[in-house]
């Protein structure tokens, strides 16, 4: 695959668990689109001239290994499918001295107007160049705990309130959430889910996590329905879909409060883990009983 990004994990990118926060995985994936696009003939100057931008419509992420502060990493990418409407891209983030697999990301990438976010077509030449970067989906990048079915009709905010989904993040789209045209970045959606997750777990556990216990995502899927703008007010409503021995399957819907429409939906498989041993821990019986009373197996993207 083509190397599209080289960097390192900054301390300020890490959260209270001491590892790279999930928002930055999507940010790095998006940064990788720039080099990939360049090799497909979508150079920065051509994109500026056309008033266009590469954006993800659907993303599936698997987290294979933690990334701690100071760790160097490289991101490589290849093309799984290409048409005038969309590119399907797989990216692998490898870290450390031995470049061990840390993350795999599969994205459906669109070309849109930079300011309008309206879909545009890839040129035939771009599609041909993209096919020259063809690869096959590695087994480790395939879905494991999530189904990648076609997205359902996006729900309305009031529907999710009526069904009892927990209110997580609530607030405006900030300048740091947006690109240069004031459109909310894909990574900012993940950021707001991360910022609101404590409210969800507080309602799910009847309190906060015990000292010494953290959380980590194993897998995520995002479907982006609309492109929000600077100043829009969003709310996230979250619900528990399923439980495993150690895992929780959680659904999040992100709403534009003004319109009540759903702008993005996501599902995640996550675990609690011991911050000292860095190992996932089983859900204890009392917590499981409390959580089971809140299961909503009909949830989904």
Same domain, 240 and 123: no
The CATH number of the domain where 201 resides is what? 3.10.129.10
Which of 221, 198, 201 lies closest to 269, judged by CA? 221
Same domain, 294 and 158: yes
* Confidence at residue 126, expressed as pLDDT on a 0 to 100 scale: 97
pLDDT at 210 over 80: no
Residue with tokens 């209110």: 167
With respect to residue 32, please indicate whether it lies within any of the assigned structural domains.
Answer: yes
Quick: pLDDT tens for 236-260. Answer: 999 999 999 999 999 999 999 999 9
Same domain, 256 and 285: yes
Same domain, 101 and 181: no
Report the number of distinct structural domains present in the chain: 2
Same domain, 76 and 136: yes
* Confidence at residue 207, expressed as pLDDT on a 0 to 100 scale: 64
* Confidence at residue 97, expressed as pLDDT on a 0 to 100 scale: 85
Same domain, 119 and 161: no
Of 99, 119, 142, which marks where a domain is finished? 142
Residue 72, domain extent: 1-142
Quick: pLDDT tens for 173-191. Answer: 999 999 999 999 999 999 9
With respect to residue 45, please indicate whether it lies within any of the assigned structural domains.
Answer: yes
* Confidence at residue 208, expressed as pLDDT on a 0 to 100 scale: 62
* Confidence at residue 275, expressed as pLDDT on a 0 to 100 scale: 87
Same domain, 82 and 172: no
Is the separation of the CB atoms in 29 and 107 below 8 Å?
yes
Q: What is the percentage of the chain residues whose pLDDT exceeds 90?
A: 86
With respect to residue 164, please indicate whether it lies within any of the assigned structural domains.
Answer: yes
Same domain, 68 and 163: no
Same domain, 134 and 185: no
Of 97, 118, 142, which marks where a domain is finished? 142
With respect to residue 147, please indicate whether it lies within any of the assigned structural domains.
Answer: no
The overall average pLDDT reported for the chain is: 94
Of 119, 142, 165, which marks where a domain is finished? 142
3-state SS of 150-191 is: CCCCCCCHHHHHHCCCEEEEEEECCHHHECCCCEECHHHHHH
How far apart CA 44 and CA 212 sit, in angstroms, is 46
Residue with tokens 């150079």: 43
Quick: pLDDT tens for 5-32. Answer: 999 999 999 998 899 999 999 999 999 9
With respect to residue 148, please indicate whether it lies within any of the assigned structural domains.
Answer: no
How does residue 206 score in pLDDT terms, banded at 50, 70 and 90?
low
Same domain, 288 and 159: yes
How far apart CA 83 and CA 39 sit, in angstroms, is 16
Helix, strand, coil abundance in the chain, percent, nearest 5: 25, 40, 35
Quick: pLDDT tens for 112-158. Answer: 999 999 999 999 999 999 999 999 999 999 999 999 999 999 999 99
Is the separation of the CB atoms in 166 and 134 below 8 Å?
no
Helix (H) or strand (E) holding 50: helix 44-50
Q: What angle do CA 13, 218, 99 make, to 5 degrees?
A: 65
């Amino acid at each position: 695959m083509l190397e599209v990004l080289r960097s390192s994990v900054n301390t300020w990118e890490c959260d209270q668990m001491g590892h790279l926060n999930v928002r930055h995985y999507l940010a790095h994936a998006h940064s990788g689109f720039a080099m990939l696009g360049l090799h497909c003939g979508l150079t920065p100057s051509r994109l500026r001239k056309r008033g266009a931008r590469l954006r993800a419509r659907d993303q599936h992420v698997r987290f294979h290994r933690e990334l701690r502060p100071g760790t160097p990493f490289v991101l490589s990418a290849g093309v799984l499918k290409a048409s005038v409407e969309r590119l399907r891209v797989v990216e692998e983030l490898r870290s450390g001295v031995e470049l061990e697999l840390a993350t795999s990301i599969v994205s459906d990438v669109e070309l849109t107007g930079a300011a309008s976010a309206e879909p545009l077509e890839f040129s035939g030449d771009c599609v041909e160049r993209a096919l020259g970067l063809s690869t096959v989906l590695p087994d480790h990048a395939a879905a494991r705990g999530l189904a990648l079915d076609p997205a359902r009709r996006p729900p309305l905010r009031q529907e999710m309130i009526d069904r009892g989904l927990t209110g997580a993040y609530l607030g405006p789209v900030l300048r740091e959430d947006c690109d240069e045209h004031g459109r909310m970045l894909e990574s900012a959606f993940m950021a707001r889910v991360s910022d609101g997750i404590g409210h969800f777990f507080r309602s799910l556990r009847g309190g906060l996590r015990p000292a010494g216990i953290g959380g980590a995502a194993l897998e995520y899927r995002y479907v982006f329905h609309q492109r929000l703008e600077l100043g829009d007010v969003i709310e996230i409503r979250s619900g528990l879909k399923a439980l495993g021995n150690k895992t929780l399957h959680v659904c999040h819907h992100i709403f534009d409060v003004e319109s009540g429409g759903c702008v993005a939906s996501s599902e995640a498989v996550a675990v609690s883990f011991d911050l000292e041993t860095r190992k996932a821990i089983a859900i204890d019986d009392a917590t499981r009983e409390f959580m089971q009373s809140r299961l909503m197996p009909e949830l989904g993207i």
